Each structure stands twice: as structure tokens, then as C-alpha cells.
Amino acid sequence: MKSRLLIIVLAVVLVVLAVSTGLFSRMRGTESAVAATGTVAGVVAAAPVVRQQQPGAPRRVLAGWDERRAAAWAIGSVTDLRALYVEGSAAGRVDVRMLKAWLRKGVRVEGMQTQVLDFTVVSHTSDELVLDVTDRLSGGVAVGAGDEIALPVDRADRRRIALVRRQGEWLVSSVR
């Protein structure tokens, strides 16, 4: 009973943090990929990394980044999560802090999904991408101590996401 209450409290905190920071992204299918490969590396290798500009590339850039981030969260890899952000990124620090807090409590989040309601490319060059995205958390389960608690669906939020390409990989530099 006590562990169930802890998971419920952590789930509510997660939703509040997700809404306020806009850092949660698609995690659907990631846990099965991690389970199949046993590592983030196996999932990351399978996740699309866009290296050329082409029609639809900005959406694929974000989707690929989201998949790599979801893989890091699914196995609790602070190192892999940190590697998705530009060094010194405030958004990265917040994301890593949240992951560490969940790990300290022995809780993982599985099946989290972000429903993208609107997607606008603000600017796009070969090495920089700025997007306006409206999305909301639409699924997820907090798992720990033998309990599973479904996370509530949050409200839609609009955020500006800036990404830069470094050594062929897209990294988030800021989220507003």
C-alpha cells in the first residue's frame, strides 16, 4: 500500500514536471526494443538519425531524437540521456535531474507517449533546426515495487525546441 502511494505521488510529480518543462516525448515501443536488445545502444542503432535535408526531415529528426531519449529513460541511462543534449543545456539538466529522481525511488516509466497536435518548422539549415511543437502526454505507466500506475493524460502545451547537429547527431540545445 505504501509503495502504491509512493508511485501515485511520483506519477503526479512527473506529470507536473512534464507539463512545466515540456521534456517528455514519445516512448511507445521503446521498452520492447530495449528488452529485445538489452541495451540502449541496440535501440539507438535502430532509431532513425537524419543526416540529410529532405522533405519531412524535421519531423524525422525530432522522432529519431525522441526515440533515443525514450530508450535512455526506459533503461535509466543518465549517460545516454545527457548525450542527447548540448553541453550546458538547461533542458538537459532538468531531464537528467528528473530521471535521477525516479531512479532513486526505484521507479521506471514505461509506455509513455507524446501526442503531437501541431508541428511547425521555424527554421531549418543543415546544422540547426528550430521547431514549434504542440503536444501532450497521452500515456505511460509508472512501474516500481511490483506496482503499475497509469499516468494521467496532461493538457496540450506549445514549446519551441532548438536542435543543433554535431558530428552527424542532432542534439537539443534548448526547450522553451
pLDDT value for 4: 55
Q: How many domains does one find in the chain?
A: 1
Pairwise CA distance, residues 102 & 160, whole Å: 26
Range of the domain at 147: 2-175
The pLDDT tens digits along the chain (176 residues) read 555 544 444 444 444 344 334 444 333 333 444 444 444 444 444 444 433 445 579 989 988 888 888 888 888 899 999 999 999 999 999 999 999 998 999 988 877 777 778 999 999 999 999 999 998 777 777 888 888 888 888 899 999 999 999 999 999 999 99
pLDDT value for 176: 94
* pLDDT tens-digit readout, 90-127: 999 999 999 999 899 998 887 777 777 899 999 999 99
pLDDT value for 72: 86
Query: Counting beta carbons within 10 angstroms of the beta carbon of residue 8, is it exposed (0 to 12), middle (13 to 18) or buried (19 or more)?
Result: middle
pLDDT value for 163: 97
User: For the domain that residue 141 is a member of, what is the CATH number?
Assistant: 3.10.450.50
Torsional sign, CA 38, 41, 42, 48: positive
